[in-house]
Amino acid sequence: MRDKLTRSEIASAAGTETPQAPSAARKIYPIVKYGDAVLEKPGAPIKIFDAELEQLTEDMFASMYAAQGVGLAAPQIGLSLRIAVVDVTGGKNPEARIVLANPEVVHAEGEVREEEGCLSIPGFRGYVLRPQFVTIKAQNAKGETFEIRGENLLARAFCHEIDHLNGILFLQHLSMLKRDLIKRKIKKLRKQGEW
Ligand SMILES: [Zn+2]
């Protein structure tokens, strides 16, 4: 005997419908790793805001949470498009979910040097100088334009994801010495079939 009702059983018992359950099965995309050309070319602007795009952003959130990231850009799942998702709470607060379609920085202020990583460059981190505050103008999954201000980690996440949409990785912000060291290590991992 089962001790739990399914979602639809609860819905029918309550006389309500659940047209689209938030926990509906999502596609978890594998994350593209450094070395794939898609990560180093600018994405194409998003022009069509339809159900398919909304589905994509939901799948991107799911893929980001599965990889335990705080941001994910479309090129990181192999799609050369100007769209990214950010949630610095790691899924704890649904209101912290931010979709950035065609984002651009409209204002930046201050400087913070902090350690940064990237889902596409797993196992490596580096100190990157970023603005302390940024104001971003972007469109949401419905195509509505909005502005949002981020501070510290959120500002960093916005800048990191916008960089992705321009084909830029955090490695490019490191000293040549540090960057070459990481690249050499990745090359070695790739030879060993571990990348
Ligand atoms: Zn990244």
Q: How confident is the model at residue 160 (pLDDT cuts 50, 70, 90)?
A: very high
Cα of 153 from ligand 1 centre, angstroms: 13
Mean pLDDT along residues 33-59? 98
Cα of 144 from ligand 1 centre, angstroms: 25
Give the three-class secondary structure for 60: helix
For residues 31 and 67, the answer to whether their CB atoms sit within 8 Å is yes
What was the pLDDT predicted at 3?
53
What was the pLDDT predicted at 23?
52
What was the pLDDT predicted at 17?
44
Q: Is the pLDDT of residue 185 over 80?
A: yes
Cα of 160 from ligand 1 centre, angstroms: 6
Which residue out of 9, 95, 114, 161 is catalytically annotated? 161
Cα of 191 from ligand 1 centre, angstroms: 23
By C-alpha distance, which of 35, 27, 39 is closest to 160? 39
What was the pLDDT predicted at 1?
44
Q: Is the pLDDT of residue 28 over 90?
A: yes
Number of DSSP helices (H) and strands (E) in the chain, helices first = 4, 7
Cα of 190 from ligand 1 centre, angstroms: 19
Q: Is the pLDDT of residue 5 over 80?
A: no
C-alpha span between 160 and 187 (Å, rounded): 23
Cα of 49 from ligand 1 centre, angstroms: 24
161 is catalytic: yes
Sign of CA dihedral 92, 131, 140, 49: negative
Q: Is the pLDDT of residue 48 over 90?
A: yes
C-alpha span between 173 and 156 (Å, rounded): 13
Mean pLDDT along residues 56-81? 97
C-alpha span between 122 and 19 (Å, rounded): 37
Output the six-digit token pair for 85: 């998702």
What was the pLDDT predicted at 25?
82
Cα of 87 from ligand 1 centre, angstroms: 13
For residues 89 and 96, the answer to whether their CB atoms sit within 8 Å is yes
Please indicate whether residue 17 or residue 148 has the higher confidence score (pLDDT): 148
Please indicate whether residue 126 or residue 2 has the higher confidence score (pLDDT): 126
For residues 75 and 164, the answer to whether their CB atoms sit within 8 Å is yes
Q: Is the pLDDT of residue 18 over 70?
A: no
Residue 38's CB is within 10 A of a number of other CB atoms, namely: 16
